[in-house]
């Protein structure tokens, strides 16, 4: 596989080559679940509650949050349309983080038992589910390294690159322009900064003609320089499904 590709692009190619993809998994699970509309900031799963369901994001964005401290809680993961919520909690008795909607949206609530039934009947999907769950855990580890080593500005740039890449795979956005329905406080909670500092950095990047902001959209004016600058530390680790067919 081309090592010049981002992990997000590698994941897409790997699933295409394996003949197994999230699209097929979604198609099988949606009829077994129930649709649930959700409002902005609505909590759909709470830390410590019994883990009985998965959520498939049909529309809108959601967030996984850590425990609140001094009125703030870190954003641990951003879920985009097409993402599954709860895969990394499979096998655990309780949910490990609060999950709330960033925007209003539509979810499909799928019982874990329904997933188990689908996998019993479609054993070739097991490697994909295992890979997706492990990718979430690996992303959390990579995020910890990023917070330890990267500057505040680089963490912000990485957030932009990560969201742009993930949205591009789902066909959302236009090249280097993508939606970002997050306010400055939320961006700060996702990058370890205050909202005030986020505002300063975004202003600096805009003045330097590195980004263009037309809310709720952001355009990366020199994406290649951004990728080179942070060496494309990708929060979406590359998947490998080939081991299951050897």
pLDDT in the model for residue 185: 95
Q: What pLDDT does 111 receive?
A: 96
- Which structural domain range is residue 63 located in? 7-245
**Partner residues linked to 75 by β-bridges:** 65
- The whole-angstrom separation of Cα 117 and Cα 30 is 13
pTM: 0.86
Residue 221 domain-assigned (yes or no): yes
**For residues 155 and 146, what is the distance between their CA atoms, to the nearest angstrom?**
7
- Successive 10-residue mean pLDDT values, the chain, 246 residues: 46 43 88 95 94 94 91 91 92 92 97 95 92 86 84 93 84 79 96 95 97 95 88 65 77
CB 59 within 8 A of CB 120: no
CB distance 86 to 45 below 8 Å: yes
- What is residue 69's predicted lDDT score, i.e. its pLDDT? 84
Pull the structure tokens for residue 83: 């993402």
Residue 170: its pLDDT value, please? 62
Question: How big is the chain by its Cα radius of gyration, in Å?
Answer: 18
pLDDT of residue 236: 62
State how many domains the chain has: 1
For residue 143, the surrounding DSSP H or E stretch is helix 126-149
Mention every residue, 6+ apart, whose C-beta is less than 8 A from residue 220.
160, 161, 164, 176, 177, 210, 211, 226
The pLDDT assigned to 232 comes to 54
Position 2 in a domain: no
Residue 31 CB neighbour total at 10 angstroms:
9
CATH number of the domain within which 51 lies = 2.60.120.10
């Amino acid at each position: 596989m081309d090592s010049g590709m981002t992990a997000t692009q590698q994941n897409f190619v790997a699933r295409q080559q394996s003949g197994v993809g999230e699209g097929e998994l979604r198609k099988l699970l949606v009829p077994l679940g129930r649709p649930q509309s959700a409002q902005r900031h609505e909590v759909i799963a709470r830390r410590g509650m019994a883990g009985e369901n998965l959520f498939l994001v049909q529309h809108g964005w959601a967030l996984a949050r850590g425990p609140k401290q001094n009125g703030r809680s870190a954003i641990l993961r951003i879920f985009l349309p097409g993402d599954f919520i709860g895969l990394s909690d499979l096998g655990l008795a309780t949910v490990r983080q609060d999950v709330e909607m960033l925007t209003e949206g539509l979810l499909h609530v799928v019982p874990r038992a329904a997933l188990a039934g689908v996998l019993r009947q479609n054993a070739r999907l097991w490697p994909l589910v295992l890979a997706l769950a492990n990718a979430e855990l690996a992303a959390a580890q990579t995020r910890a390294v990023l917070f330890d080593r990267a500057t505040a500005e680089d963490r912000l740039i990485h957030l932009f690159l990560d969201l742009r890449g993930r949205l591009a795979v789902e066909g959302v956005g236009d090249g280097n322009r993508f939606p970002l329905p997050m306010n400055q406080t939320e961006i700060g909670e996702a990058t370890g900064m205050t909202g005030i500092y986020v505002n300063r950095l975004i202003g600096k990047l805009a003045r330097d003609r590195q980004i263009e902001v037309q809310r709720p959209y952001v355009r990366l004016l020199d994406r290649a320089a951004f990728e080179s600058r942070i060496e494309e530390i990708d929060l979406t680790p590359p998947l490998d499904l080939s081991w299951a067919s050897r």
